Structure formats: C-alpha cells, structure tokens
Amino acid sequence: METTQNALTIVDGFDADASDPTASPIRGGNRRFKDASYFEFSERVDVDGKRFAVLNKETGWQKLEAGCPPEFLMRKPGEPRPPRPHVDEANWPKNFNGVAEHPWKYTTYLQMIDVDTGEVSTFSTNTIGGNIAVGELSDQISFMRRARPDAVPVIALDSKDMPTQYGGTKPRPYFKILGWRGRDDTGSQNLLTDQSSASASAPSIADDFSDALPDNLAPPKPAAKANGKRSKSEAA
C-alpha cells in the first residue's frame, strides 16, 4: 500500500525548531484574557478596533512555575494528545486559592497577525471560557472550509458573558468574525491593509472572497478622461 509522508523535511535549524514538540508555540506577545480585557503579562493590551487574521492553532501541555521558564510538550498535527508529564503530587505548586494542582496544563494557542500593522501575537488559554471561545471559532472555520478550504478568519478580540455555576455571569473571550481571507494571502502583501485607507468596519464578502462579477453584472467602467488637448482639425 502506498503511503504519504506527512512530516516536513528538515532542511535547516528553523525547520528543526518548528518540528520540536518542546519548543515554544508562542509567536510575538503572549496575550491572555482576564476581567473582560486582554493582557500581556500584567499590562493591558488595547485591542479596540483592531483586526487579526488567525493563522494557526496549536495545543499542548504547558508548565508554569514561579522562578522558572515555561516548558512545553506540544501535540503534533494529526497525532493524539501526548500524555501529561508526570509530577509527584508532593511537588505540585499551590494555586491562588492555596490548593495544590498539577503544574502541567493543557493549553490552546492561536497564532495571529494584525492585518493593519503586521504585528504577530499569540492568544493562549486553558480556561473553560477560553476553550468555549476557541471551540466556537473552530466550528466556524470548519464550516467555512467546506466551501473554501483555504479560508482564514479575520477576527476582533472581544468578550461576552457566560453563566457560572453559582447562578451569575462572568466575562469570557469572544472572537467576533469580521471577514475571511485566503491562506495564500497570508504569504503576500494582500493580507495587510494600508493604514491610510484602513477602516474599522468589517470587510465586505466580495472583498474577502475576491469574487469577480460577470461582465453583464459588473458596474460600467468610468469613461477615459480627455487629455485637455485638441487636435488641429478640432481647433479649426
């Protein structure tokens, strides 16, 4: 039986880094959601009016421990989730509530680019609300790719309330879809918008899909402008 090799051929160190499951999945600043806002470390990030193309999703185990750099064990595409690394319960750190918990958390990372500035960033989450938001976005992408396999969503980083087990509500991330791009656009200048003409409004469907109208439906082309000069026969 003929088989297909899915693994990328490692040509240099950059390819090796990309295939290393212990390498960090974070590209640019690492953004997290808290209290209806987005943060990089303890600094609030202004995301109002900004648009982000989500280029990739990665999932895997992340270990955060005070005084130590983060560690990662990522799931490889097309493969099962790797087992969580073992840590003796006696060595589990305590959370903010003073309860000991396993230091390795299964985390999702969305790698994205600001379509107006080209700035690269990563949204990461291992919370219930964050997983709901990522699940909703994944469903939208899966549905869209039935019609357009190369579809890439352009989103706004927003928030919405979700119910809690205590009968109230609390904010969670919400990725509002503003439009779609083709994956080929992510490797060209077509993904980025000139800031001088950028608009905070959502891109039109026609612009997103680059649909060309048939000649009988296309708007008439503007008439060519006169050059302001007349021939000798016209002047006579």
User: What is the count of structural domains for the chain?
Assistant: 1
Residue 220 domain-assigned? no
On whether residue 195 sits in a domain, the answer given is no
Residue 4 lies in a domain: no
Q: Is residue 40 part of a domain?
A: yes
- Among 80, 81, 77, 79, which Cα is nearest to 60's? 81
Q: How far apart are CA 78 and CA 81, in angstroms?
A: 9
Whether residue 234 is contained in a domain is answered as no
Q: Give the pTM.
A: 0.74
- Residues forming a β-bridge with 187: none
Quick check: helix, strand or coil at residue 184? helix
Range of the domain at 164: 20-190
Comparing CA positions, the residue from 122, 115, 91 lying closest to residue 104 is 91
Q: Which residues, listed in sequence order, are joined to residue 30 by a DSSP beta bridge?
A: 122
pLDDT in tens, 93-148: 988 889 999 999 999 999 999 999 999 999 999 999 999 999 999 999 999 999 99
Residues 64-107: pLDDT tens digits? 888 889 999 999 988 999 999 999 999 999 888 899 999 999 99
Asked, for residue 131, whether it belongs to a domain, the answer is yes
